Amino acid sequence: MVTPLNNTLRSDTKHQEVLCPALFISAMASGQGKTTITAGLARYHRNQGRNVRVFKTGPDYLDPLILEQAAGSPAEQLDLWMVGKQRCRHYLYEAAKSADLILIEGVMGLYDGDPSGADLAEFFGIPVAAIISAPTMAQTVGALALGLTQYRPSLPFAGIIANTLGSDRHAELIAESMPESIPLLGCLKKQDSMALPQRHLGLVRPHELEDYDDRLNHIAEILHSAGLTELPAAVAFYDSDEPLEDKANNSPLTGVKIGIAKDEAFSFIYPANLKALEQAGAELSFFSPCTDQQLPNVDCLWLPGGYPELHLEKLSNNQSMQKAIKAFYEQGHKILAECGGMLYIQQSINTLDGQEWPMAGLIPGVGVMRTKGGCQGMQSAELPEGVLRGHAHHRSKSESTLPAIAFGKRIKHPAPGEPVVRSKGLTASYLHFYFPSNLAATVKLFQSAEKNRATASVLEGKYA
C-alpha cells in the first residue's frame, strides 16, 4: 500500500500548494460506465465555461481521446508505475495551476492492479467517486458500497454513483440501502443514449462519428438532471522537488528527423512520448501508411500501434509506401514498430474470416487476428539500450517471426511477457513503450550507432 502524498510532503516540500477541485472516478469493475460519466462531467463543466483538465489512470489510448474531446484539453496518463510518482505529481500540479476542475478516470476496479487506482487516489489525496452498475441488484448496492469504502479506511471517498438502473423505484431501494456514512451522489437510469460506441479493443474514437459532441452534450445534461454535476472539494497539489528533465541544455536528438505513422490505422501515441522526443531535440514529421505514397525526409521511423486490421485494403494496396519503408529498412535506418506497427512490417495479416492481406514484409511473420486477448498488461523490456516501461493490449498473435532478443517483464507475474525482435536497425514488439520512463534508452533507439557512441558518456546518468 502506498503512503498518502499529503502526509509526507506538506512538511518538507519547497513548492507552494495549489488548490483545485478534483475527483477520482472509479468503479467496482470494468464496464461500469467510468469513461461515459467522466466525459459527461467534463463536458458539462466545460459548457459552463470552466477550464477542465482530465487524466486517465493506466495505459490507454482510446479513453483519453474521448476525455480530450469532452474537456477540450489534452488528457495525460497517470500511473504510479509506468509514468512514475514524480511525473504524475508534476502533471497534476501543472494542471491545478490553471484548471477550475481536475477529473481522473480510473482503470478496471478501484483496487485492481498493483499499483491500483486506489493507490493513486490515496497518494494524492483525491476523493473517489465509485460507480456501481446495478441493473440486476437493489439493496445489495449498499453492501457493496460499504465494502468499497471500508476496505481501505485511509482512502478519501466522495461517495457512490449508482448506474444503469431500471426505474425510479429501483433508485429508491438503493438509496434506502446506503449506510448513512456513505453519500449517494446520484442514480442514473439505463438508457441507450448514455452508451458510447465500442469495438474489440475499446471505445470508438470521437473523430469517427459526426455526432460525438451531441452525444457528449446529451450525457452532460443527463448527469446534471441526476444531481451529479456539483463541483467536488478542492485538493492541495504540489510540484515535484526532483527535476523531470535534464537541465544541462543537452538535446541528444538535435538534428534527428523522426517520421511517425499517424492516420486512421496508426494512432496509439502517448502525447508524453511526442513531448519527450521534442524535448530531446528531435524534429517530428507525420505520415500516413494508408494514403501517402512516399516517406517524408527523415532519419528514422516510429510505427506505433493502432487498428491496421480495420484498414487492411488501404494498407495492402499502398505498395508504394510498403516499398519505401522496406528500402528504408534495407538501408539500416532505425525503425521502432509497436503492436499494430509490428504487424504492418511483417509479411501479412490474417483476418478472422480467413483472408490474408500482404503487408510491408520487412521481416518474417504473420499477424493472426483472434477473438481473445494476448499477453496483456504492464511490462518492462530490458533492451540493450536500457529498460523501458510500457504495456501490451492486443487481439492478435504474431506467428513464424524472428527469435526474440528480449521479453517483457511483468510487474509480478513470473511468466515471460511480450517478445522483442530485432533486425538491422528495426526493433519490433507488441509492447507500447512509454518513452519518458527512460529517455536515455529512447534516444538510443532513434540515434544512429555512431551518434550513440558519441553521446553515451554524456547521457550516462542524466535520463535513466
How many Cα atoms occupy the beta-carbon half-sphere of 117 within 13 Å? Answer: 30
Pairing verdict, β 266-268 and 52-57:
unpaired
Reply yes or no on whether 339 is catalytic: yes
- As to burial, measured by CB atoms within 10 angstroms (0-12 exposed, 13-18 middle, 19+ buried), residue 134 is buried
Element (H, E) at 277: helix 271-279
List 20, 290, 300, 339, catalytic entry: 339
Q: Which residues are catalytic?
A: 339
